[in-house]
Structure 1
Amino acid sequence: MCGIAGIIYRNGDQPHPIGHDMTLMLQSMKHRGPDSTGYALYGPRGESVILRCTFADANDARDFDFHARLQRHQHEVQNRLRAMGATIQNVEEGTDYACRITLEYDGDLKDLTDRVEDVPGCEVLSLGHSLEIIKDLGDAEEVARQYELEGFTGTHAIGHVRMATESDVDISGAHPYWAYPFSDVAVVHNGQLTNYFQWKRRLERSGHRFQSECDSEIIAVYLAEKMSGGASLEDAMRQSLDELDGVFTYIAVTGDALGVAKDEMAAKPLVLYEGDDLVALASEEIAIRAVVDREIETWDPYEGEVLVWQR
């Protein structure tokens, strides 16, 4: 039993406190997933590329060489970025095992990601012009405090609270998932794909890599590959209902849109509020009421339904 949430403001590029809002939504569903919490936050789009990565897991053993080893790996990542023609503008350390790097780069994102992840222990969580994925062990308040998300402003966001059932309690198994190697696409998901291995093999043959055994990562890459072929987010999500088998509800986001899809059985819960100023959706209504301070009416999307909103 996990919890998913999404919010998108409907007034263009005007920034909103999405770090604060998503923390309220996710913390209200802490009972659905106490193991880890994750955010995909969309800030103002700029020319710079934002790289979020980890060099170890939160629960890795701390031996005598742990911090020195992580520093060596971080320096190696920066050296590789420069060797590929990137100009590093800023480096921020969220924790001793995670960092945020802002850079100028106009080359191939797949090549960049592959070169960075060749450094031992390094995992790219997200790469894009507005998307930033932050995820770690603990509840939303813990993760938000650790990564200073209270002041993060932007236009839309999704989030996930996880109860680990089929994989380890670690950062790699936490949601959201970035759609490697496509810029600014991410997914959170509640449910299970029954044709997971079929799609994983198919996408791996197309050159994609996966950092986890989680089916949510399959959905993210599936959608991004469809969109790279010319499909809109809505079209890609509609195709997913025909090609992905299982019981699921998922929320997908791009740099300017947020969408939700429910499979034809609609067994996984989702509640939705649509107003003039924002759209908010979550596994439970309590999460929506955490950020909308007025009387509202909510509703459940139908089975086999896809809904998409632009900011």
Structure 2
Amino acid sequence: MCGIAGLIHKGKSSNVGGEMTAMLQALKHRGPDSTGYAVYGEPTEGDYVLRLKVAEAEDMAKGRGIHQVLADRITEVEAIMQEHGVTVKTKEHATEYALRYLISHEGDTTALAEHIEETDGVEILSLGNGLELIKDLGDASDVAGLYGLNEFNGTHGIGHTRMATESDVDIRSAHPYWAFPYNDVSVVHNGQITNYWIMRRQMERKGHRFMSNCDSELLAVYTANNLANGVTLEQSLRNSIEEIDGVFTYLVATKDQLGMAKDTMAAKPLVLYESDDLIAMASEEVAIRAILPQEIDTYDPYDEEVRVWQA
């Protein structure tokens, strides 16, 4: 039983970090193990935000030597960026194991990302013009405070509170997932995919990589494969209902869109609110009420329903 949430503002920016924190904290009871955000700021042409981790949170308890290991990994990552002609504009440590770089790069971002991930213990969480993907252990209040998300300004975001059922309690298995290597695409999911291994092997044969054994990552990779082949977000969501087996409700965000899909049984809940300038959705209405305390009308999307909204 996990919790998912998402919102998108039409034609304006807002404090989506604070809004997503309020929504996800209201869903804490659905998933206490980890919390994740994919939030979308206002991109600058030619610039990318690179979010990565150089260790798991639990690795920090492995003794004093771990600090030098992390420093060496960061040095190697920065040497790779220099090799690819990357200009680092800013560098921030949210934690000793999680970093944020604002970079300028005119080359192949896929080649850059693949090279960086050859470094032992390093995983790119996101790379994009607008997307910033942050996830860690703890509830939304913990993660937002640690990563400074309460004042993040942007147009839209999605998030997830996780109760681990079939994979580990670690950052690697937490949601959201970036749709590597497709810039600015992220996914959160509530449910279970029953043809996961069949679909995963299909994606791996096409050259896609997986960083975990979490079935939700498949939806990110599946979406990346479709978008890379010219399929629209809406059509990708519709195709998934036919091609992916199981019970699922999931949200996909791109640089300027937010989409949702429910499977044929619609067993996993989603409540939706829509106005002229704001769309908000979550596993439970209490999350929407956390940012809209006034009287509002909500509804539950039907089975096989697909919706896409533009920022």
Range of TM-score over shorter length: over 0.9
User: What is the aligned partner in structure 2 of residue 106 from structure 1?
Assistant: 106
What RMSD, in angstroms, separates the aligned Cα atoms of the two structures?
0.8
Corresponding pairs, count: 309
Query: Partners of 1:265 and 1:255 in 2: how far apart?
Result: 30
Q: Given that residues 133 and 176 in structure 1 are in contact (C-alpha distance below 8 angstroms), is that contact kept between their aligned partners in structure 2? A: yes
Q: What are the Cα deviations for residues 192-216 of structure 1, in whole angstroms up to 9, with x where unaligned?
A: 1111111111111111111111111
Q: 1:2-58 deviations in whole A, cap 9, x for unaligned?
A: 0000000012xx321000000000000100000000000000011201110001111
Q: Residue 34 of structure 1 corresponds to which residue in structure 2?
A: 32
Aligned to 2:53: 54
Residue 178 of structure 1, CA deviation: 0.2
**Structure-2 separation of matches of 1:105 and 1:63:** 36
SS of aligned partner of 1:59: helix
Q: Deviations over 1:52-103 (max 9, x none)?
A: 0001111123312111211111111011001011111111001010000111
TM (norm. structure 2) is 0.98
Residue matched to 1:127: 127
Within 5 Å, which residues of 2 pair with 1:249-268? Answer: 249-268=249-268
Is the counterpart of residue 20 in structure 1 residue 30 in structure 2? no
Aligned ranges for residues 188-199 of structure 1 at < 5 Å? 188-199=188-199
Query: Deviation string for 1:103-136 (max 9, x for gaps)?
Result: 1112222211111111111000000000000000
Deviation at 1:148, TM superposition (A): 0.6
Is 1:73 the equivalent of 2:73? yes
Contact 1:49–1:103 (Cα < 8 Å) also in 2:
yes
Q: Which ranges of structure 2 fall in alignment gaps of 5 or more residues?
A: none
Q: Deviations over 1:171-196 (max 9, x none)?
A: 00000000011000000000011111
Amino acid in the other structure paired with 2:221:
V
Kindly report structure 1 stretches of 4+ aligned residues shifted beyond 6 Å. Answer: none
Work out whether 1:290 is the aligned partner of 2:297.
no
What residue is the counterpart of 1:274 in the other structure? 274
After TM superposition, give the deviation of residue 277 of structure 1 in Å.
Answer: 1.8
| Counterpart-to-counterpart distance in 2, 1:15 and 1:92 | 23
Unaligned runs of 5+ in 1: none
What SS is found at the alignment partner of 2:169? coil
Conservation of the 8 A alpha-carbon contact between 1:109 and 1:182? no
Q: Give 1:216-235 correspondences, 5 Å limit.
A: 216-235=216-235
For residue 211 of structure 2, give the secondary structure of its aligned residue in structure 1. Answer: coil
The equivalent of 2:157 in structure 1 is 157
Give the % identical residues: 55
Matched residues in 2 for 1:22 and 1:145: separation? 13
